[in-house]
Amino acid sequence: MPKPILKWAGGKRQLLPEIMKRMPESFKGYWEPFLGGGALFFELHNRKTISSGFLSDLNVDLISVYKYIRNEPQELIESINNLNYGNNENDYYAARKEFNSKPEPARRAALMIYLNRHCFNGLYRVSSSGNFNVPFGRYKNPRIPDQDDILSMSEALKNVELECCDFEPALKNVEKNDFVYLDPPYHPLSKTAFFTSYNSGSFGPAEQERLFSVFENVSSRGAFVVMSNSDSQLIRELYSSFNIFEITANRSINSDKSGRKGITELIITN
C-alpha cells in the first residue's frame, strides 16, 4: 500500500477522519487541485474508494516528482540510490546547492525527495531568485522512500491525471456528482505567521476570494465540495452560506510555539 512519499507542510494525515466523515458516500470523478503530499488521495486509494483522479498543484517540482514516480519509477529509484548524501548539515547544504544548480530532471526529482525528507518541517520555499532555501531539519532518522515505496506509489498513480497548474483552470471540467477536495494554503491567523509561502507567490486574501468564487462555481455545477482552511474571520465570512464545521487540530503551522497545540480549523462543505 503506498504511503505518501513527501512530508508536505500542511499535510492532512491527522485530519483525514474529520474530512472523510464529511465527504460524499459515492461520487464520480475525484479532483484534488492543492495536492501537496496527497494525504487524502492516497488514503482513498488504499481504501479502494478511488482508482483514478485529477490531481494538480502549482508547485512544478512537486508535480515533476509525481510524474517521475508514475512514468519512470526505475529511473527515479536509480537516481535516489545514486544520491550519496547523508543526514548531516554539510550534506544537506551540498544537496541543496546541487538542486539549485538545475541538474538533469531525474536527478532533480531525487534531490527534491531527499531535500523534502531532510528539510525543516517539509517546507518548500524559494527565494526571489527561485532558489530553494529551506534550512536543514535535524531529524534523527529521516526516511528516504525505497524501491517498494516508489513502485507501490507508481501503481497508485497509474490512472490519474497529473498537472502543474493553478486551482482555477484545474477545475474547469468538474461535472455533476464529482467530488472536489480543496486544501489551499491556509489563510494566516496572524501577520507573523510565515507559513503561507509554499511558492514564490503568496496566497493572500485576494486568492482566498478567488478560491471562494471557484468553490461556488463548482458547487453550482452539482459537484460535492469539501475544503479545509484556517479558523479565521475572512474564511468564516466568505463561506457563511455553506456548512462550516469547527474541528480541533494539533499541528505545527505556527512559528509561535504557543500556537502549536489544539488550534481549531475549519472544514467547509456545500
Ligand X SMILES: C[S@@+](CC[C@H](N)C(=O)[O-])C[C@H]1O[C@@H](n2cnc3c(N)ncnc32)[C@H](O)[C@@H]1O
The piece of 55-63, 79-87, 237-245, 261-269 that touches ligand X (CB under 6 A) is 55-63
234 phi and psi, to 5 degrees?
-55, -45
β-pairing verdict for 243-249 and 263-269: antiparallel
CB nearer to ligand X: pick between 85 and 251? 251
Of 60, 54, 62, nearest in space to 11 by CA: 62
Stretch that binds ligand X, among 3-11, 102-110, 135-143, 233-241 (CB under 6 A): 3-11
Cβ 141 to ligand X, closest distance in Å?
A: 21
Residue 57 in contact with ligand X, rule: CB under 6 A: yes
Pairwise CA distance, residues 75 & 64, whole Å: 13
Contacting residue, 5, 31, 37, 76, with ligand X by CB under 6 A: 37
CB of 124 to ligand X, least distance (A): 7
Q: Which of 59, 79, 230, 270 binds ligand X (CB under 6 A)?
A: 59
Sheet containing strand 160-164, edge to edge, reads 160-164, 53-57, 30-32, 179-182, 224-230, 263-269, 243-249
- Residue 145 found at the interface with ligand X (CB under 6 A): no
Measured from the CB atom, is 58 or 115 closer to ligand X?
58
Q: What is the rounded distance in angstroms from the CA atom of residue 113 to the CA atom of residue 167? A: 24
Q: Pick the closer one to ligand X by CB: 90 or 131.
A: 131
Q: Select the span of 8-16, 80-88, 131-139, 217-225 touching ligand X (CB under 6 A).
A: 8-16
Residues 6+ apart with CB under 8 A from 157: 66, 69, 70
**Which residues have CB under 8 Å from 81's CB, separation 6+?**
none
Please identify, using beta-carbon distances, which residue of 57 and 231 lies nearer to ligand X: 57
Instruction: Indicate the residue among 75 and 165 with the shorter CB distance to ligand X.
Output: 165
Q: How far is the CB of 229 from ligand X (least distance, A)?
A: 9
Q: Which stretch binds ligand X (CB under 6 A): 34-42, 81-89, 110-118, 250-258?
A: 34-42
Does the footprint of ligand X cover residue 137 (CB under 6 A)? no
Alpha-carbon span 207 to 215, nearest angstrom: 12
Identify the residue among 2, 5, 10, 65 touching ligand X (CB under 6 A): 10
Q: What is d(CA 22, CA 29) in angstroms, rounded to the nearest whole number?
A: 17
- Report the alpha-carbon distance of residue 263 to residue 188 in Å, rounded: 13
> Which one of 18, 72, 166, 216 is in contact with ligand X (CB under 6 A)?
166
Grid coordinates representing 167? 486551482
Strand pairing category for 30-32 and 53-57: parallel
Interface residues with ligand X (CB under 6 A)? 8, 10-12, 33-34, 36-39, 57-59, 166-167, 183-185, 198-199, 203
